[in-house]
Amino acid sequence: MDVTTWYLEQTSPSDLRPAGPPAIELDIVRAEVPAPEFNRFLYTAVGGDWQWTERLPWTWRQWADFLDRGVETWVAYHRGTPAGYAELLPHEDAAVEIVSFGLLPWAIGKGAGGRLLEVAAARAWDLAERRPDAEPTRRVWLHTCSLDGPAALANYRARGFRVYDTRTNVPDDRDEGRTPGPWPGAGPRTRA
């Protein structure tokens, strides 16, 4: 199966375009205490339907080491329930990568993705304000592929991200040998 991967970026905070209001109330907050268990929950809950499998075999220590790289986790909540999340990873070249981004299945189609992405990108741009050891952000980037949610690429573009590279048939970490889903044995869920 052909897999297309798009690499997108913003090179100025002025590139960021706001989203319209979501259909549900959202509180978007930073998870200030790194917790490998929580990030693994978010990764599986969001990525299960899109076959995110790369991190499924990670140990607790691998999750902790990943978070110790300065990752910021921003979580969207609706009435106390997680609706989606974004992980921001600062790089030494004053770039911030949105490593993971997505919604739990129940929140898809309610406008939450646009609002969460707007906040995540804004927090990537002002990351140095929270980290005195960091240089001001000069670039925010991410990638998505044809296996991700059908609205992903359009959402990134609508928020002002521009495609700077496209690759087809890039080997993907989502192989048939691993079971997708939020827990072992669970497959993609259907949406009502």
Classify residue 177: in a domain, yes or no: no
Distance CA 116, CA 108 (A): 12
Rounded Cα distance between 53 and 126, Å, is 30
**DSSP string for residues in 105-116:** GGGTTTTHHHHH
> Residue 104: which CATH number?
3.40.630.30
**Residue corresponding to tokens 């090179």:** 11
Assigned domain for 63 exists = yes
Q: 75 in a domain, yes or no?
A: yes
Domain that holds residue 20: 4-168
- Mean pLDDT per segment of 10 residues, for the chain of length 192 residues? 92 98 97 96 92 90 96 98 98 96 95 98 96 92 93 97 91 50 52 46
Judge contact between 111 and 56, C-beta under 8 A. no
Q: How many domains does the chain have?
A: 1
**pLDDT value at residue 191:** 47
Helix then strand then coil, % of the chain, to nearest 5:
30, 25, 45
